[in-house]
Amino acid sequence: MTSTIEQKKLLRKLMNEKNRTLSAEESGRQSNVLWSKILADSVFQKAKTILFYWSMNDELATIKTVNTLYQSKTILLPVIENNELIIRRFNNIEEMKPEPKFGILEPTGPLYTDYGKIDIVIVPGLAFDLNCSRMGRGKGYYDKLLKKIPFAQKYGVGFNHQLIENVPTEEHDISLSSIWTAEKTVMNNV
């Protein structure tokens, strides 16, 4: 029997390959459908402060949504610093700079530490399951950050192929409130 770590390694390899082979057109289509669903969600509509992520090429696109929503809601973005995610407010794209390791644009404003005011966290991942479990890229960045934001709704977002029956989990993995894809939404009943 393979260990959870080995299972995660194999699943990451499979999901990375599926992400690479997803066409730009299909990626854009799924992103548009998913954001239409989330923007219509009553919990999302009432939220004042939302922690997003600035999407990479192999992730569900967030950039257009962030650029639209920051005018009506407080939009926060994570920044990698000393192998941890810290949070900064998104004010506009002109105040973003590429971080050195991955080249992802990050906000440059002051730190945001009022975690209790965060209503929703939009969480990326490589795989999600029907129990609202998530598997990320393997660094544990989001699991550490989500422990600091226990009362926020945690929306896992991904492509249709990223929602599978079962994701291997470990004790430190944080369960999400819901999983959203273009085809399906799964709510955590716990």
Per residue of the chain (190 residues), give pLDDT as tens. 678 889 999 999 999 999 999 999 999 999 999 999 999 999 999 999 999 999 988 999 999 999 999 999 999 999 988 888 999 999 988 989 987 777 788 999 789 999 999 999 999 999 999 999 999 988 889 999 999 998 999 999 999 999 999 999 888 888 999 999 999 999 987 5
Which pLDDT value is given to residue 99?
79
HSE (CB half, 13 Å, CA atoms) of 79?
21
Q: 3-state DSSP call for residue 14?
A: helix
Range of the domain at 126: 4-15+23-187
Would the CA dihedral through 91, 140, 163, 99 be positive or negative?
positive
> Do the beta carbons of residue 78 and residue 87 sit within 8 Å?
yes
Q: Which residues partner with 54 through β-bridges?
A: none
CATH number for the domain spanning 9: value is 3.40.50.10420
Say how many domains are in the chain: 1
pTM of the model: 0.93
| Residue 90 one-letter amino acid | F
Tokens 């999302």: give the residue. Answer: 44
Show the tokens assigned to 149: 């934001």
Which pLDDT value is given to residue 1?
60
Show the tokens assigned to 117: 């005011």
User: CA 79, CA 106: separation in Å to the nearest integer?
Assistant: 6
Cα 2 to the center of its chain, rounded Å: 28
User: CA 59, CA 38: separation in Å to the nearest integer?
Assistant: 16
